[in-house]
Amino acid sequence: MTQPIKITPPLTDKDVEKLKSGDKVLITGVLYTARDAAHKRLIELLDKGEKLPFDIKGQLIYYVGPTPAKPGQVTGSAGPTTSGRMDVYIPKLLELGLKGTIGKGQRSAEVVDAMKKHKAVYLAAVGGAAALIAKTIKKAEIVAYEDLGPEAIRRLEVVDFPAIVVNDIYGNDLFKIGVERYRKVG
Active site residues: 39
CA angle 27, 164, 101 (to 5 degrees): 70
Q: What share of the chain is helix, strand, coil (3-state, %, to 5)?
A: 35, 30, 40
Say how far apart CA 118 and CA 89 lie, in whole Å.
14
Beta bridge partners of 29: 158
Residue 170's H or E segment, with its range, is none
Say how far apart CA 157 and CA 159 lie, in whole Å.
7
- CA Rg, the chain, in Å? 16
